[in-house]
């Protein structure tokens, strides 16, 4: 179907471009999206697409066609790009620096000049850290509003992380890490929360965390005692008061009240569980600081502080096989002494005694997830905490997997703990 208007321009607001000649020729059927094969377009046939707002690029693409297209979509707001090994070299100069004369023909500069309204970026595939950093720093003239990293590879390195903090923090509204978050360390999280005043969604939990380590925020980065980042932002209030969705582990909280792992093995080898180093009041003091910080986020609707370590649906998964995979990958991120398998023993206890009522002002809260966390069992029974939650957050849905402790215990027995 021809979607051209009377003036010879296309009346579509979404388009998908791929190099495959077999799968891209039909529209979505609702008049809102057009799929086109790159090999079917001649340069002279391509008009100005002044209604196009979303573009999906699936490489490898013809170099000339790619740049021709990107110079004809001035209203583009959202770019979903899947990088491949043969795509990146044609899109980037050999040297990503401001003095390279080839930069004017690079993908970031072409997007900046040809798509001045670009604010949303979704990245898949394989791309080097310096190339991704170049995209993040240069491609958006207005500043990034949305950054989503869907790649199964850990594509975020330190250069990319610094590009986010330096070039996107002031405009960023949504950031989702997928399986690309390990390089976004705790002090980076703290810096972003303290500087991104427009942030609405921060998603650092991926649900299935067997591929990559979840993004986490350590309390020592927030309230002192840790190594710190590029800026001294400890004890600073978070600037993201518009935050509606926060999915991130908050770890490093002393829990002298927790003495064993989920399978019963002692935790006495871990300093955060030592009652000679920390008293219960020490734990409560730190937890109250965390509750106070969270309690300032009055627009918060979705709060996820933990997720399951792995799937527990035995009807769909081979648990033994899954446990072996978890064991192999887990060793990449944690020492055998302190390894946690994603299960949190150094977390908020979510009790009134520890300061839970300090989050009572979150009247917009709709979902609270504490799966895979060591919280009091009575939290989910008819306890004072449960009664308080029903009163303070009458619309909230509590999410906690009943299988977490059982399955984690089984896992650690296989691992020798």
Q: What is the pLDDT of residues 179-238, one digit of tens each?
A: 666 688 899 999 999 999 999 999 988 655 545 567 889 998 887 644 445 566 677 899
In this prediction, residue 280 carries a pLDDT of 95
94 within domain boundaries: no
311 within domain boundaries: yes
In this prediction, residue 26 carries a pLDDT of 36
170 within domain boundaries: no
- Range of the structural domain that residue 286 is part of: 185-417
41 within domain boundaries: no
In this prediction, residue 48 carries a pLDDT of 86
Structural contact between residues 338 and 281, judged by C-beta atoms closer than 8 angstroms: no
Nearest to 195 by CA among 221, 164, 216: 164
377 within domain boundaries: yes
Q: How confident is the model at residue 142 (pLDDT cuts 50, 70, 90)?
A: very high
In this prediction, residue 97 carries a pLDDT of 56
Alpha carbon 126 to its chain's center: 17
283 within domain boundaries: yes
12-21, 127-136, 137-146, 348-357, range with the lowest pLDDT = 12-21
CA distance 246 to 234: 19
In this prediction, residue 159 carries a pLDDT of 94
20-24, 182-186, 266-270, 283-287, range with the lowest pLDDT = 20-24
In this prediction, residue 61 carries a pLDDT of 55
For residue 299, is pLDDT > 80?
Answer: yes
In this prediction, residue 59 carries a pLDDT of 63
Region 277-300 average pLDDT: 96
Structural domains of the chain, count: 1
Region 253-273 average pLDDT: 82
For residue 81, is pLDDT > 80?
Answer: yes
7 within domain boundaries: no
For residue 331, is pLDDT > 60?
Answer: no
124-153 burial, b at 16+ Cβ within 10 Å, e below that, comes to bbebbbbbbbbbbbbbbeeebbbbbbbbeb
CA distance 240 to 146: 15
């Amino acid at each position: 179907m021809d979607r051209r208007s009377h003036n010879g321009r296309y009346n579509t607001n979404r388009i998908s471009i791929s190099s495959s000649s077999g799968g891209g020729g039909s529209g979505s059927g609702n008049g809102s999206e057009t799929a086109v094969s790159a090999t079917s377009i001649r340069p002279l046939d391509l008009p100005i697409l002044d209604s196009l707002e979303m573009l999906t690029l699936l490489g490898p693409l013809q170099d000339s066609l790619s740049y021709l297209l990107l110079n004809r979509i001035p209203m583009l707001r959202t770019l979903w790009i899947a990088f491949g090994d043969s795509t990146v070299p044609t899109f980037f100069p050999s040297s990503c620096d401001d003095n390279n004369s080839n930069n004017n023909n690079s993908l970031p500069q072409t997007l900046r000049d040809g798509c001045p309204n670009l604010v949303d970026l979704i990245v898949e595939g394989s791309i080097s850290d310096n190339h991704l950093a170049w995209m993040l720093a240069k491609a958006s003239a207005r500043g990034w509003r949305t950054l989503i990293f869907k790649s199964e590879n850990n594509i975020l390195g330190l250069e990319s992380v610094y590009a986010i903090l330096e070039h996107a923090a002031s405009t960023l509204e949504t950031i989702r890490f997928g399986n690309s978050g390990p390089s976004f360390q705790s002090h980076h999280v703290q810096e972003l929360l303290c500087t991104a005043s427009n942030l609405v969604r921060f998603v650092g939990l991926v649900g299935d965390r067997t591929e990559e380590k979840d993004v986490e925020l350590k309390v020592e980065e927030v309230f002192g005692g840790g190594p710190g980042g590029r800026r001294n932002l400890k004890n600073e209030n978070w600037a993201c008061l518009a935050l509606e969705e926060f999915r991130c582990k908050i770890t490093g909280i002393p829990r002298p009240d927790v003495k064993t792992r989920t399978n019963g093995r002692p935790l006495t080898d871990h300093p955060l569980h030592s009652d000679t180093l920390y008293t219960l009041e020490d734990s409560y003091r730190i937890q109250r600081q965390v509750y106070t910080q969270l309690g300032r986020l009055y627009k918060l609707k979705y709060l996820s502080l933990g997720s399951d370590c792995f799937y527990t649906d035995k009807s769909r998964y081979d648990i033994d096989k899954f446990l072996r995979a978890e064991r192999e990958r887990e060793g990449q991120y944690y020492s055998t002494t302190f390894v946690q398998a994603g299960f949190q023993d150094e977390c908020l206890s979510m009790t009134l005694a520890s300061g839970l009522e300090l989050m009572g002002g979150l009247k917009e809260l709709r979902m609270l997830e504490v799966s895979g966390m060591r919280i009091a069992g009575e939290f989910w029974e008819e306890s004072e905490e449960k009664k308080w939650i029903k009163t303070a957050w009458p619309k909230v849905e509590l999410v906690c997997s009943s299988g977490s402790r059982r399955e984690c215990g089984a896992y650690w027995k296989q691992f020798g703990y």
